[in-house]
Structure 1
């Protein structure tokens, strides 16, 4: 009997508890609904009052995040595109301006030193041809490899271009390395893989890897005699484009046409005049924020344009018509440049060809 009474009391307690909780839950729900309706009504009557302040605040926040994180996002996007094999229009490691000039897309992987696994029948010269680099460049990148005894499965390093892959030591500079390894400082700066702790002075950090295009080891045979640009200008004074391009300056060719440098560099320590390679209309004349410095673009109105970069001064204006051999300005070292030289490009309908194949 006592057990039954306790069970009944427990059931009654549970029932009363349920009634209590249900009542308070109902009251709480009712108050919540009433409060919600009150707030909704107030917002409805005040609609539009805060639209403008909200819009202004949102725009300020967007501008703040764009300035703060924009450069990092752009750099990340640029690097991811390069790693996927695409080549952005680049000159001197930076993007080109909208002046009608585009860079031919290249399939060459340039953003890293590659590793290659030797296959049966491979030879040093065959590997060099496959990767379009010199035999010596591969030897220098693999000093411990005996190329007379290479075997299937052996892994070797392949430099991205003909030249030297070098680990920077304390005290090294772009200029000292260019002198030591008999290459051009501008070529080192132009190579897309190379980075600098200061883009104004091209400062290096000890331990970083640097690619020295066309560099040679100090004990290697001397490079071929440098070629000089001829300033003789046949048909000088021609008022219409001839289709043949004359040399735009006198000096030594310090850097040739490459997949990452679709131009030639003509250097002259004393500067000198920069001449129009053919007749045409000046399409661009002024400062470039992407590395060209003072530059001129001439539209020859026959499917070709020519670009002249790093000028010390300009002698022409946009819209001006120039004859073949006309002075465009003086050779200089403005923009992303390591010394006095002319960066000369030819732009055709199919991209940027090697100027040496067109200059007469």
Structure 2
């Protein structure tokens, strides 16, 4: 029985060997197949790569004509141009049709400020202000006058001024953008000393016309000017009580009296060249009508808070600050 068992064992081993050899052949076939697949993939990749290498060459060859078409394009793209236009609207505003326009007028024989103002439909005071006239009698034949296309005055920019603050302090019925347009400004930047045209009023101005007053005026009191020339009258100069008020120039006392309020007093002086000076809001008067005075002579004592001082020539109000 032992032999039979041994024989059985002997018979089983060959069959096991056969079963082990079978999988080895299959595995070899799989490996060979895998190698074949890899080779095929490599071949396909090489062919695909070769095709890709040809395409860039074709693109490169087609680029020059495309580049020629792109060269003129930078002007037209909509997005880059939008910020430029926006900046132009804010900072490089071209002169508007609303801008005040000026012409030059050469005074002819027989003309005077009244006839010239009538010719252009303007107020006499506009011509006086825009041309910084200090001596009306100096407007003679051959003089060049600056003529605006509307009534108005110049405002001299001071320290700390902006267009918006000027609109507010001058009580203008429009905004700072309109003021910018009226003056043909490229932007809202202004500097001390600039002249801005303020419509419908008249004040000091720079001009092509230069004159020389026949007499020189001095300040009647050293206080600060707290209200400037307003087209029709004069300036207010800060004072305290009982300050001496001096004659601005040699002249004659044309009139003295009480103001409409019945409390303060005034003095009017006449001077050569058709000038008259007025001193209002005085506490007392030290001169009498018809008397002569010299420049710097006391006319009376002041009341606080201000002296109202005016200069006119031939009935036309002038800006006192032009003479100081």
Bigger fraction of residues in helix = 2
Fold shared, TM-score > 0.5 on shorter chain? no
TM-score (norm 2): 0.36
